[in-house]
């Protein structure tokens, strides 16, 4: 392991890394555009020039490997001068667009100019103006703003494995262009907006919607498939404005797919249940009620069945769309507290194939976020329909979470055979309409908890939004129900439930809500 010095700071680094990697790894900033940790080094932007040993010329930090005893200087007059000049070149034809540029606030040209550039422009000539191009899909190319780092071009070649973009012409005339006949509708496209260091690639979905510094970032997990990509929910005024990828080298590395990126639209303008509902005996209609009433209706019914020794008629359906905490609480209430034995998992069958791209990034065919967790906690049986048909079930507790849930006519008929149906769900699904008690719960952005992804990694997501009306996060509803049976219950939050889960299930042994941190932990 070579030992090097950067700005007088002695560092021991991995063999074969570049100066830039060594610096970034150790919290030393060297400005750069074309370097991206997931992409091939091209050394084209020249912004990362540094002074090395006695080399008469400045060397690009991104393309120079460290050698033992190397001495690097990043703050000398010569280096600053080079940076200032390079930034000046970038700005010669750059428009003064910041007020209407969505990148402003997270733009590396702004940041670097502010830190390393000059406050005045010496360029008095007319600027080159190139019209904005629509690249299809959700992408606009503001050509005037490009710094020609080719990150976007390399992304499609190296990460996706299917070239879409190309640099046309050379030198001054260089221009990002799309291959003829192609449109940027590829599922990985949204990532180029994130890796573009400037506001050249802009997402129409976010266009002019908000300034980035006004958005709050909440760490979450994409519920779009079982890959469990780490994401940021970026929100303001109780509304999500965009979703961005969150780096986790064990899961999604730097990327997310567009299904996940725009998934928040799925939860907008839904037919939300905003209050607990109940059906009066023999009535066709559901009527609004209070939480207290709804919970005691479920509790009383179960207590009745228990007294009549009919608990074998009770079945509980957990969900691959719900968190581990929610599914686990079902086992606590119905299993440990009441002694029910019939547990099922609602998880739609997997259709299609996983899609893997060149870098190994995979979009999973399983469109549920927590099949593994739910099956681990509740078993793999999902055929509750069969059991209802055989008349083995009279009381059903259904934990939903799939806002796209649809029922066949046959299934609706089967539900009518039940004596009592409790549905805990986000929207008025056909299932909820047939229920005796409906418990409205928040969707993933309104709740917190953990999911287990397809590789068995337990990951935490946090609540970004306040749910509408009387809606409560699923864990809180189930804790209320639990408390109805066990008034001295100590658990009050998802964290408590997770810690209880970790203590009682060997696969989760040694984990805690806190220890999961931002990047999660593998199942034992």
Q: By the criterion CB under 6 A, which residues form the site for ligand FES?
A: 32-35, 43-48, 60, 62
Instruction: Write the interaction track for ligand SF4 spanning residues 162-201; mark x where CB under 6 A is met and - where it is not.
Output: --------------x-------------------xxxxxx
Helix (H, G, I), strand (E, B) or coil at 366: coil
Give the residue with the Cβ less far from ligand FES, 50 or 426. Answer: 50
> Closest CB to ligand FES among 195 and 422?
195
Beta bridge partners of 220: 231
Closest CA to 127 of 148, 107, 144: 144
Q: Which CB sits closer to other proteins, 131 or 180?
A: 131
Which pair of structure tokens corresponds to residue 104?
């402003």
* Parallel/antiparallel/unpaired status of strands 165-168 and 355-356: unpaired
Query: 214 contacts which partner out of ligand FES, other proteins, ligand SF4, none, CB within 5 to 8 A by kind?
Result: other proteins
Options 52-60, 77-85, 94-102, 132-140: segment touching ligand SF4 (CB under 6 A): 94-102
Angle subtended by helix axes 474-485 and 494-504, to nearest 10: 70
152 near ligand SF4 (CB under 6 A)? yes
Scanning residues 213 to 252, which ones bind other proteins (CB under 8 A)?
A: 213-214
Could you give the maximum distance between any two Cα atoms of the chain, in Å?
A: 91
Least distance between other proteins and beta carbon 234 (Å): 15
Stretch that binds other proteins, among 48-56, 94-102, 374-382, 408-416 (CB under 8 A): 94-102
When the beta carbons of 45 and 317 are compared against ligand FES, the nearer one is 45
Instruction: Tell me how far, at minimum, the Cβ of 246 lies from ligand FES, in Å.
Output: 23
Distances 147 to 31, 62, 378 between C-alpha atoms, Å = 14, 17, 53
Round to whole Å and give the CA distance between 237 and 214.
10
Residue choice 22, 30, 47, 147 for contact with ligand SF4 (CB under 6 A):
147
* SS3 letters across 213-242: HHCEEEEEECCCCCCCCEEEEEEECCEEEE
CB of 152 to ligand SF4, least distance (A): 3
Cα–Cα distance for residue pair 222/449, rounded to 1 Å: 13
Say if residue 147 is exposed, middle or buried (CB neighbours under 10 Å; 0-12, 13-18, 19+).
buried
In the complex, the residues that contact ligand SF4 under the rule CB under 6 A are 94, 97-99, 101, 103-104, 107, 109-110, 145-152, 176, 196-201
In the complex, the residues that contact other proteins under the rule CB under 8 A are 98-100, 104, 207-211, 213-214
């Amino acid at each position: 392991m070579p030992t090097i010095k950067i700005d007088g700071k002695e560092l021991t680094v991995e063999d074969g890394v570049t100066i830039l990697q060594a610096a970034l790894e150790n919290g030393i900033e060297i400005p750069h555009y074309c370097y991206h940790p997931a992409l091939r080094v091209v050394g084209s932007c020249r912004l990362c020039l540094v002074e090395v040993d006695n080399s008469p010329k400045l060397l690009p930090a991104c393309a120079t490997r460290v050698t033992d005893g190397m001495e690097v200087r990043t703050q000398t007059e010569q280096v600053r001068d080079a940076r200032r000049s390079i930034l000046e070149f970038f700005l010669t034809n750059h428009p003064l667009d910041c007020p209407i540029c969505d990148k402003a606030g997270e733009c590396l040209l702004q940041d670097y100019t502010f830190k390393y550039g000059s406050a005045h422009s010496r360029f008095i000539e007319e600027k080159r103006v190139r019209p904005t191009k629509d690249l299809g899909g959700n992408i606009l190319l503001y050509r005037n703003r490009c710094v020609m780092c080719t990150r976007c071009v390399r992304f499609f070649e190296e990460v996706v494995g299917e070239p879409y973009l190309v640099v046309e012409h050379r030198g001054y005339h260089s221009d990002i262009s799309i291959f003829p006949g192609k449109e940027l509708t590829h599922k990985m496209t949204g990532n180029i907006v994130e890796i573009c260091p400037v506001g050249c690639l802009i997402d129409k979905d976010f266009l002019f919607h908000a300034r980035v510094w006004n958005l709050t970032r909440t760490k979450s997990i994409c519920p779009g498939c079982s890959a469990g990509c780490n994401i940021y929910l970026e929100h303001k005024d109780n509304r999500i404005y965009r979703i961005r990828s969150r780096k986790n080298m064990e899961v999604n590395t730097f990327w997310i797919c567009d299904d996940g990126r725009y998934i928040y639209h799925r939860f907008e303008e839904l037919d939300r249940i905003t209050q607990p509902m109940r059906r009066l005996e023999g009535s066709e209609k559901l009527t609004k009620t209070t939480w207290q009433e709804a919970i005691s209706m479920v509790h009383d019914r179960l207590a009745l069945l228990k007294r009549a020794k009919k608990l074998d008629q009770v079945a509980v359906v957990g969900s691959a769309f719900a968190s581990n905490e929610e599914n686990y609480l079902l086992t606590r209430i119905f299993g440990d507290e009441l002694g029910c034995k019939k547990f099922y998992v609602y998880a739609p069958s997997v259709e299609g194939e996983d899609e893997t791209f060149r870098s190994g990034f995979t979009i999973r065919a399983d469109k549920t976020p927590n099949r593994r967790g739910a099956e681990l906690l509740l078993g793999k049986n999902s055929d509750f329909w069969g059991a209802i048909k055989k008349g083995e079930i009279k009381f059903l507790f259904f934990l939903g979470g799939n806002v796209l849930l649809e029922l066949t006519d046959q299934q609706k008929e089967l539900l009518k055979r039940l004596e009592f149906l409790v549905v805990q769900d986000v929207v008025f699904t056909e299932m909820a309409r047939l229920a005796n008690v409906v418990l409205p719960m928040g969707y993933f952005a309104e709740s917190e908890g953990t999911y287990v992804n397809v590789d068995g990694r337990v990951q935490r997501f946090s609540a970004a939004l306040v749910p509408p009306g009387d809606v409560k996060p699923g864990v809180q509803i189930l804790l209320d129900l639990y408390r109805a049976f066990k008034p001295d219950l100590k658990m009050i939050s998802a964290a408590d439930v997770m810690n209880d889960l970790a203590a009682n299930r060997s696969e989760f042994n040694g984990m805690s809500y806190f220890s999961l941190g931002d990047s999660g932990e593998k199942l034992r």
